[in-house]
Amino acid sequence: MAFFEPIGACVLALACMAPAQPAESTFQLTSHDTKGRIGTVSLTCGPTGGSHPTRGDACGKLSEVDGKFERLRPEPRACTLEYSPVDVSAVGKWRGEPVTYRTSYANRCVADAESAGVFTF
């Protein structure tokens, strides 16, 4: 019986050294406005990571809509009627499925509100 203990410990140690699994959902998010400002961040969900400033909230909002950007629930916010278009895009995968999303908003405030903060960066 003692013979198998070192083998068992070795097998367990090798299992612990297995490479980390890639994130199941990862995106490159970009925004571009008429003033020439371009922003880009990475967002990883499952596990949460990336350079998005509120990655936990963004992943939570995307989880609520199963990664469907077009279904994000707008957050109530008062925005001006200024027309200063903002183009946004998301390219990546959600739970292994490819995702490409692009849309335009009337201004930065509307983009932040309509995207539930996912494009707030």
pLDDT at 24: 87
Alpha-carbon gap, residue 93 to 106, rounded angstroms: 27
Domains and CATH numbers, the chain: 25-115 (3.30.350.10)
pLDDT at 13: 47
pLDDT at 22: 59
Alpha-carbon gap, residue 111 to 117, rounded angstroms: 8
φ/ψ of 40, rounded to 5, equals -145, 135
> Tokens 């410990």 map to which residue?
9
Alpha-carbon gap, residue 23 to 44, rounded angstroms: 7
Contact 31, 38 (CB under 8 A): yes
Low-confidence residues of the chain: pLDDT under 50: 4, 7-8, 10-15
Query: Is this structure's pTM higher than 0.75?
Result: yes
pLDDT at 11: 45
